[in-house]
Structure 1
């Protein structure tokens, strides 16, 4: 399943070179142009952005006490192995002209070759579920920063501050 990944990663790298970031602003507004500096800034920004807020044990208890439970029969049904029919149905509900992975293969490709690919893919997904390990190609992603209005060098554009996000939640 991972054989073509090298080709498609190289293809994405070529495409990504056209979108190369040449400058980011430091927290104090100073322009950073050295790749190592920009990388440190981006890592620090996103580490802070995605760090967890403190957890209120009382709120968790309230939430957990009100969660519905799944009946034994529903649980048993939900824990059945995936079937080819389930994946075939899911495939029919996917949007057309879209590629669900980095390989660039569209829904239409999978529909045409589903009789050949389907059984093997179901086997791979079942093994992944059983082992709790996805193939390397399923663990890769290409992230792209989407331009917002304003100074594109500023990572904070469009991101609410943590303090304002907390006050709007209550």
Structure 2
């Protein structure tokens, strides 16, 4: 079996507060071939605990060349307007954050993920596919056979990813 690595890259980002004022923060991007459709983005500031968002890898890649996303997560590139960055908005009930990220750092990260699992070949990774199928089967078994009305609570299914003992880690420092 081919060993699958985790791709990790630190990125120096900016939290855009106003048109003229931004706060620096570090963003760590992490990709695990065992969960091939997503990228984990963890944000570190000096005063708060880190926050993590799960982004679709395709969404992040599509944001390199145009506008992508709808709702809580939107991504677009400013490179067509002479800029070197891309913007990510993250919305929640607590508010919305606008982040500016160097497009080259995201591009390099995505190239490293695609070297492990090419876009379009995610379903070929046996670990990710078998975990997903197990999760879906578990959810299907917990569904009631009929729903009498909309007040019935939906069942909660927790899916845990198992760690691959062959997984190694690669890391790089943020670029300034």
Asked whether the two chains share a fold, i.e. TM above 0.5, the reply is no
Question: In proportion to residue count, which structure has more strand?
Answer: 2
Bigger radius of gyration, 1 or 2?
1
Question: In proportion to residue count, which structure has more helix?
Answer: 1
Provide TM-score, normalisation by structure 2: 0.20
Provide TM-score, normalisation by structure 1: 0.20
